[in-house]
Amino acid sequence: MRARVYVSLKKSVLDPQGKTIHHSLENIGFQQITEVRQGKFFEIDFAPELTREEVRAEVEKIAKDVLTNPVIEEFSYRIE
Amino acid sequence: MQANLSITADVLEQHNLTQAEYDRILSILGRCPNLTELGIFSVMWSEHCSYKSSKLQLKRLPTQGPQVLQGPGENAGIIDIGDGYAVAFKIESHNHPSFVEPYQGAATGVGGILRDIFTMGARPIAAMNSLRFGPPDQPRNRRIMEGVVAGIAGYGNCFGVPTVGGEVVFEGCYSQNPLVNAFALGLFRKDRIFYGKAAGIGNPVIYVGAKTGRDGIHGATMASAEFDEASESKRPNVQVGDPFLEKLLLEACLEAMKTGAVVGIQDMGAAGLTCSTCEMGGRADTGIEIDLAKVPQREEGMTPYEIMLSESQERMLLVAERGREEEIFRIFRKWEIDAVAIGEVTGDGMLRILERGRKVAEIPNRVLTDEAPLYRRPVAAPARTSPPPPPPGPLSMDWGGLLECFLASPNLSSREWVYRQYDHMVRTNTVQVPGADAAVVRVKNTRKALAMSLDGNGRYCRQDPRVGAQLAVAESCRNLVCAGARPLAATNCLNMGNPEKPEIMWQMTQVVEGMGEACRALGTPVTGGNVSLYNETLGEGIDPTPVIGMVGLIEPLSRLRGSWFVREGHRIVLLGPLVGRPTGYSSAVRHNLSRLQPSRENGADVYTGWVSRLPCPPLDLDLEVRVQRTCREGIEKGLILSAHDCSDGGLVVALAEMGFSRFGAGTLGADILLPSAEEVGEALFAEYPSRILVTVEEENLAALEDIAGLQGVPVTPLGWVVPDVLSVRRSGSVVLERSVVSLEKIWRNCLGGLFADPL
Amino acid sequence: MKFGVLMFPGSNCEHDAYHAIRKVLRQPAEFIWHQSTDLRDCQAIIVPGGFSYGDYLRTGAIARFSPVMGAVRRFADRGGLVLGICNGFQILLESGLLPGAMLRNRGLKYVCRQVSIRVENARIPFTGLAREGDVWNIPIGHMEGNYTLDADAFRWLERNRQVVFRYCNPDGEITAEANPNGSVANVAGICNPRGNVLGMMPHPERASEPLLGSEDGVRLFQSMIQSRSQA
């Protein structure tokens, strides 16, 4: 089973990279953008014998304890 | 052996092998090669690995000297710096990969040169780079430069080597062919040198470092062919660097070497496993047998061809003493790096490749290395053009405005935007930060420091490759001398076009000739380097661009000098001629000055336009030697307090630079009195070589004049260091007056302004 | 006073810190491997700069799981002096020994240069020899030094006198131009409430000899030594 975890900066935290990308996109002609946030994306493959619930528990723990810094980041994930 | 493919003309062309080279392969093997073998021949006989077009030329360079411990032919050259210490250093190009993918191309270039240094047992303590791009007003050139600088920073900063200096040049011919030459220098005890030799029959051959993937397959042959539009699609060939892994590899290798169990070691750079196996065997006159099934692999289903030709980064091959493998494995385990015995040294001189015990390739080592093809390619000199006549009568112009234009040129302005991105302080040895004539790192626990400089001059080499190369060597040495160093030895990177064109070969012969002459005159043998040919895209080639990396020694460290004014009231003195003898160059200088418009509107680059219309200035090597000797002696005797080379932009740019502020010190000006006999524009802006601006205390001027007199060097007291203002007077009237603060602002803001927008 | 200098895979300023302690300050020092849990009777721990674990994932994020960090936490809890420099500061943040987090520099690029910092709190063991308002010249070299903390927590931090250094101009004024990375309120270094754990982005070991352009970093190390000789 594969989990896809998305990590991004919290809305309340300034995202200097996202802001710069946004600004640059506008400069090269993409005017219809209201915001750009950038983040990280992880693909984690689990052993096939795990149940969906077990994978969910593992992913939550990994995302919370390792993949994000809760001071500035939040995450979402999908299991497939 | 695996089934033979039919080797058609197409297959040969894909491998950049000629029919004649293929015929030679047939006669060596006495049979048809299989595809793996063909791939091995193609990379080892490529220009990049074999130097087949340049080797006969390079043999004419001086390579010997009492200070040289290792000349060309090893992973890096080595010189003795006394008290049991030695330094290994080398420069290498990564031009083509940096054009295809600027960040990774430059990053892996840095990674490769660092491995060349630590594979010899030396810890890298300094890195520099010489970069050339097309004009920065074009977004595409900016994007390449941005990526290259970030790549160098990303790799070097993480690895923990300070990037202490280098050069950045903008010129039209590099738009499609950017040059990225990376230099590194490492320090070690001279009794702890390791070589890339597979000695000792029966000794295990151990693979260490990153796993092998399909990256960079045929990178070495890619670096040996001109670019065309299809190159864009070659992107998957580019290797990706992992500086963190390289840092671990460094620590693990140095620790493994301490055990005494390492017999020989070499990095896997271009042509990866192929090159490291046959070169290590070739140097020791031994054979190597490896089994590819044991090679750590990152991807599934790799063929022998792919494994042998992969250019995955951060890998090394080492030969250990039989029976002591475990000592080595333990160290690599500690650093969490793969280390696997993949074969052993044999006595039959063959490179034998097995796959699970089944033979998939077998070629004599020596035919791949020492006996690779060598070409004496046809040479033809191009027609020369004669310089235009000088204008009649003296010129007058807004010289201050012209100076501002020059300082606003991307080719003369501050490089801070670049070197701020490099960690130039890690290891706490950097005693001269970037921006000075030479970079200087001290050697801890000694009274020594090492000065180094990278210099190239494609523009002048285009006009006269022989004198241009001499100028590059002379400037490199002059930079070190200004810092208080004695130049010891050089490394070089020859960046040229397609050697199959006779006029390019002519350039190469001239460049090598000039470099050799200058290195002999200045006593700096060439200990190695690299050649990058085929720097052409769609038939458009670069100016011949030899880049010289010079290394010198400052001892004691108290001789270190900066290239800026120290204090108000000091005398400013020029060593060397204020203007050169009347030549085609001086005529051209005056003629072209008369046509200049000192305007900075629309971002016009007045300096670059001006200087590219000039011929190569003449160089008197004998005078150059004496000027440098005068400067060194003046520093050794404690007379000279600071020294700055007059080169790009001429005398007045050098004067302005000497007054610019540094951290913790404000600006200083200069009050200059030009001798009335000289033409103002020529004296201030011409780029005559063999000139050094120095400052001395008033009471030491006579002593300096005595030294110069004994050396037969012209010496001109030009003026005084004063607060705030740079002014030049002649015959009682002011010809130029500017506030140094305002000049500095122009100079400092140029690159930062150009790169303000990140995409 | 014996210093312990931690070594993580990818640390690259550990030798610089070691050199400053041994050769400049003439104090005993020892390297401590990240797998170790024994701090070897050291009286102060330096978490050095560099790129631990390549800065992959997030700066300092992987190093905090090293066995040695458990020992460092217990050491800090007992009042031991812990100094995190640059990547070491980032590790202390990730470990929760100090509050807040680091973002990419405002300019998005790595910045290596001399900066001036102002001593904001001279009552902790790291700054005892300084006076509040002193300006030190110490270099920085980092990509992620843009310190952030939510507004409430930051007010609390200020009230607690936990801001130890701020970026300033050479005259000691806290200005926007003097802020090299966008850090909140020009923060260059902070300590824990007890004052025995300090994290700072500038590298005092790079400012410890006149040859390197500044000796101001020495005062920080000397303050540490003095604080323990008085204790």
HSE-CB at B10 with a 13 A cutoff on CA atoms is: 2
Q: Encoding tokens for residue B448?
A: 């020594």
Q: Which stretch of DSSP H or E encloses residue B416?
A: helix B416-419
pLDDT digits (tens, 9 = 90+) for B742-758: 999 999 999 999 988 54
What would the mean pLDDT of C221-228 be, rounded to a whole number? Answer: 96
pLDDT at B235: 40
Provide the pLDDT for residue B233: 47
Best of A69, A73, A75 to disrupt the C interface (most C CBs within 10 Å) is A69
Percent of chain C whose pLDDT exceeds 90? 98
User: What is the residue-wise DSSP string for C69-97?
Assistant: HHHHHHHHHTT-EEEEETHHHHHHHHHTS
Instruction: Say which of B242, B245, B425 has its CB closest to residue C141.
Output: B425
User: What's the pLDDT at B538?
Assistant: 84
Q: What is the C-alpha to C-alpha distance for residues C92 and A69, in angstroms, rounded to an integer? A: 13
Residue type, B660: F
As a whole-number percent, the residues of chain B with pLDDT over 90 amount to: 83
Angle at B494 between CA B491 and CA B499, to 5 degrees: 150
> How far out from the chain centre does Cα B562 lie?
23
Tell me the C-alpha distance between B261 and B618, whole Å. Answer: 54
* Torsion C7-C8-C9-C11 (CA) sign: negative
Return d(Cα B249, Cα B245) in angstroms, integer. 6
- Closest residue in chain B to residue A20, using alpha carbons only: B758
Cβ of B531: how many Cβ atoms within 10 Å?
22
DSSP symbols for C185-224: GGEEEEE-TTS-EEEESS-GGGGSBGGGTB-HHHHHHHHH
> What is the Cα–Cα distance from B297 to B209, expressed in whole angstroms?
11
Q: Taking residues B146-170, what's their average pLDDT?
A: 97
B266-to-A6, B271, B291, C156 alpha-carbon distances in Å: 41, 13, 18, 56
User: How many whole angstroms separate alpha carbon B44 and alpha carbon C62?
Assistant: 41
The strand ranges marked E within B496-577 are 526-532, 536-537, 540-541, 545-554, 571-575
Distance, CA of B119 to CA of B184 (rounded, Å): 12
Q: What is the DSSP string of A3-14?
A: EEEEEEE-TTS-
In B309-343, which positions are buried (b, 16+ CB within 10 angstroms) versus exposed (e)? bbbbbbbbbbbbbeebbeebbebbeebebebebbb
Structural domains in chain C, sorted by start: 3-230 (3.40.50.880)
In angstroms, the separation between the Cα of residue C103 and the nearest Cα of chain A is 8
Closest residue by Cα to residue B109 from B155, B76, B42: B155
CB atoms A28 and B757 under 8 Å: no
Lowest mean per-residue pLDDT among B232-236, B475-479, C210-214: B232-236
CA B397 – CA B401 distance, rounded (Å):
8
Beta strands in chain C (DSSP E): 3-7, 29-33, 44-47, 81-85, 101-103, 111-119, 135-142, 146-148, 163-168, 187-191, 197-200
- pLDDT, position B601: 78
Do the Cβ atoms of C118 and C168 come closer than 8 Å?
yes
Q: Which of B244, B422, B444 sits opposite C10 (nearest CB)?
A: B244
| Matching residue, tokens 């919290």 | A10
- B666 contacts chain C (CB < 8 A): no
Which one-letter DSSP state was computed for residue B602?
Answer: G
Q: Select from C11, C72, C5 the least CA-distant residue to C37.
A: C72
Asked if this assembly's ipTM is beyond 0.90, the reply is yes
* A53 bridge partner residues: none
- CB neighbour list of residue B236: distance below 8 Å, 6 or more residues apart: B215
Going by C-alpha positions, the residue among B43, B106, B101, B102 that lies closest to residue B237 is B101
Whether B420 and chain C come into contact, CB under 8 Å, resolves to: yes
B198, B284 in Cβ contact below 8 A? Answer: yes
- Chain A residue with Cα closest to B758: A24
Q: How far is C230 from chain B (nearest CA, A)?
A: 30
A41 contacts in C (CB within 8 Å)?
A: none
Measured CA to CA in angstroms, residue B250 lies from B184, B328, B568 at distances of 14, 14, 47
- B395, HSE (Cβ side, Cα atoms, 13 Å): 23
B353, pLDDT greater than 50: yes
Which pLDDT score, from 0 to 100, does residue B5 have? 59
For the cut 90, the answer to whether the pLDDT of residue B206 exceeds it is: yes
DSSP B316: E
Q: Would you call C205 a catalytic residue per the annotation?
A: yes
Give the closest-approach CA distance of B483 to chain C in angstroms: 14
Both tokens assigned to B167: 């050069």
Q: What is the pLDDT of residue B232?
A: 45
- Chain C interface includes A31 (CB < 8 A): no
Residue B450 has pLDDT above 50, yes or no: yes
Residues of C in contact with B160 (CB under 8 A): 12-13, 50-51
Kindly report the number of other CB atoms within 10 A of residue B747's CB atom.
23
- Determine contact: C150 vs chain A, CB below 8 A: yes
Residue B305, both tokens: 């061809």
Length of chain A: 80
Q: Does C90 touch chain B (CB under 8 A)?
A: no
Model confidence at B603: pLDDT above 80: no
Answer with the residue of higher pLDDT: B558 or C228.
Answer: B558
Q: Which of B114, B161, B425, B749 to mutate to test the interface with C (most CBs of C within 10 A)?
A: B425
CB C192, CB C217: distance < 8 Å: no
Domain range annotation of chain A: 2-79
Is the Cβ pair C213, B433 closer than 8 Å? yes
B679-690 pLDDT per residue, tens = 899 999 999 999
User: Quick one: pLDDT band at residue B226, thresholds 50, 70, 90?
Assistant: low
CA distance C119 to chain A (A): 26
Band (B383; pLDDT cuts 50, 70, 90)? confident
- Cβ atoms of B691 and B619 within 8 Å: the answer is no
Output the DSSP codes for B95-162.
HHHHHHSHHHHHHHHHHHHHHHHHTTTPEEEEEEEEEEES-TTSHHHHHHHHHHHHHHHHHHHHHT--
> What token pair was written down for B283?
């140097």
- B444 neighbourhood in chain C, CB within 8 Å: 19, 23
CB contacts, 8 Å: B759 with chain A: 21, 24-25, 27-28
Whether B430 sits inside 8 A of C212 (CB atoms) is yes
Chain B residues with beta carbon closer than 8 angstroms to that of C53:
244
Residue from A14, A17, A20 whose CB has the most chain C CBs within 10 Å, to mutate = A14
Which one, of C4, C79, C82, lies nearest residue C41 by Cα?
C4
Instruction: Measure Cα distances from C127 to B466, C116, C118 in Å.
Output: 60, 15, 11
pLDDT higher for A14 or B548?
B548
Task: For B11-34, write each residue's pLDDT tens digit.
Answer: 888 888 999 999 999 999 999 999
- Which of C118, C117, C113, C86 lies closest to C198, judged by CA? C86
Asked if the Cβ–Cβ distance from B422 to C13 is below 8 Å, we say no
Query: Which of B241, B260, B427, B244 lies closest to B331 in space, CA to CA?
Result: B260
CB B338 within 8 A of CB B212: no
Nearest CB to C61; choose among A13, A20, A69: A69
Q: Sign of the CA dihedral A20, A24, A27, A33?
A: negative
Measuring CA to CA, which residue among B69, B120, B165, B83 is closest to residue B443?
Answer: B83
pLDDT band of residue B665 (cuts 50, 70, 90) is confident
B757–A contact, CB cutoff 8 A: yes
Kindly identify which residue of chain A lies nearest to residue C149, measuring between CA atoms. A71
B residues 548-567 closer than 8 Å to C (CB): 557
Instruction: State the alpha helices, DSSP H only, in B320-394.
Output: 325-334, 365-368
In chain A, what residues touch B757 (CB-CB under 8 Å)?
24, 27
B159 and C CB contact within 8 Å: yes
Find the closest chain C residue to A12 by CA distance.
C150
**For residues B454 and B166, is the Cβ–Cβ distance under 8 A?**
yes
The fraction of chain B above a pLDDT of 70, given in percent, is 96
| CB-based contacts of C204, cutoff 8 Å, min separation 6 | C20, C85, C138, C216, C217, C218, C220, C221
pTM: predicted TM-score of the whole model, two decimal places = 0.95
Catalytic residue among C13, C94, C191, C203: C203
CA angle C194, C197, C200 (to 5 degrees): 130
Closest CB to B758 among C108, C111, C137: C108
d(Cα B201, Cα B490) in Å, to the nearest integer?
36
Hey, what's the torsion of the CAs at C179, C180, C182, C188, to 10 degrees?
A: -70
C79 touches B at CB < 8 Å: no
Closest by CA position to B722, among listed B565, B561, B562: B565
- Give the β-pairing of B163-170 and B123-133: parallel
The tens digit of pLDDT for each residue in B358-374 reads 999 999 999 999 889 99
> Can you name the CATH fold of A2-79?
Mth169; Chain: A , (3.30.1280)
Q: Which of the following is catalytic: C86, C142, C144, C168?
A: C86
- Residue B215's pLDDT is what? 80
Does B511 or A28 have the greater pLDDT score? Answer: B511
Q: Is C229 exposed, middle or buried (0-12, 13-18, 19+ CB in 10 A)?
A: exposed
**Strand C29-33 vs strand C3-7: parallel, antiparallel, or unpaired?**
parallel
Q: How confident is the model at residue B167 (pLDDT cuts 50, 70, 90)?
A: very high
A36-40, B368-372, C205-209 — which one is most confidently predicted on average? C205-209
Q: For position B177, what pLDDT does the model report? A: 95
SS3 B172: helix
Name the residues of B annotated as catalytic. 48, 94
- A20 min Cα distance to partner chain C (Å): 9
